[in-house]
Amino acid sequence: MTQSFQFSLLATDGAARRGEVSMPRGTIRTPAFMPVGTAGTVKAMYMDQVRDLGADIILGNTYHLMLRPGAERVARLGGLHEFARWPHPILTDSGGFQVMSLAQLRKLSEKGVTFKSHIDGVVHEMSPERSIEIQGLLGSDIQMQLDECVALPAERDVIERSMELSLRWADRCKIAFGDQPGRAMFGIVQGGDDEALRVRSAEALTGLDLKGYAVGGLAVGEPQPVMLAMLDAVCPALPQHKPRYLMGVGTPDDIVKSVQRGIDMFDCVMPTRAGRHGLAYTRHGKINLRNARHAEDSRPLDAESDCPAARDYSRAYLHHLVKAGEALGGMLLTWNNLSYYQSLMQGLRDAIEAGRLADHAAALAEGWARGDL
């Protein structure tokens, strides 16, 4: 067990990397998918289940937890790992993105963001310093800088000013973070859909010599080719020997194409949120269990899966649970979806080690296109 934060590159296949992030609370095998645990829970899952599926790290949300139950309260109760019974690494977002997407009446200035809680209307100030303080109170192992994620499409000068604000905030977050052995603070590359601004952001953040770099401002509705073009510009401008995290991504296809461009870490609400809405991710593509065609289909989602939710329950039963609004429906589909995402990541890690990522990616795409047999 290491007392420091170390990223090691174990293999590469083209721009794709197989690596490991070792931290005091455990090792993260990359490429990694990080289940979203917004309010200290991966919705509809027990933490032991999340672990058994192969997740090395989960996410927590500064914005949600600072509003309820409160960062100081979580600290008094021993921190988020103790509170949520997840002893392995946790990454927390800084809250900026959530403020812009969830809070009411928010005001953004050089100082930070001021906003009214969407829960009780209380006004909160979130400065770069306060965001890092909150993430420290939660006990977060990987803390994100406070940033501004500009909505696209936007004028170039708006994107530029926003990207430069995020760079100044990265500097303030680095100072506020100080020296926390075994923990890391990641910078977030911004720059919208402008390749030159993206490279400027990546190079300036690299100059801060941070322990890892996230690519933000994407997966905000832009077409996939735009997102991929930004990765083609940004990844070569980031240090080889530091982890790269693409925020909010994505579908299985997004993840494969981003791994091929050099991304190491991913988070997305899709497998959990879609599961609660009746959607199953499988190696044959997506299956919407709300659809009446499943009403008498006695087949499981995937007889070859080692996840009981995929192997032991008929589609007819899942269809019934979903239509009836039964809690077990969302639980089983979330279990299936997170299992599928973790097996997707394991397959990518194996393929990179074996130098056969291109063939593996083609086989995956064929399976998804073949659709549900």
Binding site for ligand 726 (CB under 6 A): 36, 38, 59-61, 93-94, 96-98, 101, 144, 147, 149, 188, 216-220, 247-248, 267, 269
Q: Residue 31 contacts by C-beta under 8 Å, 6 or more apart in sequence?
A: 16, 17, 18, 255, 259, 263, 264, 265, 266, 345, 348, 349, 352
- Which amino acid would we find at residue 81? H
Residue 149 Cβ vs ligand 726, minimum distance, rounded to whole Å: 3
Residue 247 Cβ vs ligand 726, minimum distance, rounded to whole Å: 4
Residue 324 Cβ vs ligand 726, minimum distance, rounded to whole Å: 26
Residue 40 Cβ vs ligand 726, minimum distance, rounded to whole Å: 10
What does the alpha-carbon distance between residue 244 and residue 224 come to, in Å, rounded to a whole number?
18
Quick one: 147 or 302, whose CB is closer to ligand 726? 147
What does the alpha-carbon distance between residue 83 and residue 331 come to, in Å, rounded to a whole number?
22
Which one of the listed residues 13, 141, 194, 267 is annotated catalytic?
267
Quick one: 147 or 193, whose CB is closer to ligand 726? 147
- What is the token pair recorded at 166? 């995020």
Residue 216 Cβ vs ligand 726, minimum distance, rounded to whole Å: 2
Radius of gyration of the chain (CA): 20
Quick one: 79 or 367, whose CB is closer to ligand 726? 79
Quick one: 20 or 147, whose CB is closer to ligand 726? 147
Annotation marks residue 93 as catalytic: yes
Annotation marks residue 179 as catalytic: no
Strand, helix or coil for residue 130: helix
- What is the token pair recorded at 125? 């100030």
Quick one: 19 or 96, whose CB is closer to ligand 726? 96
Which one of the listed residues 13, 56, 93, 147 is annotated catalytic?
93
Helices (H), the chain: 47-52, 62-67, 71-76, 80-84, 96-102, 128-138, 156-177, 195-206, 224-234, 252-259, 270-276, 308-311, 315-324, 327-354, 357-370
- What is the token pair recorded at 370? 């073949």
Catalytic residues: 93, 267
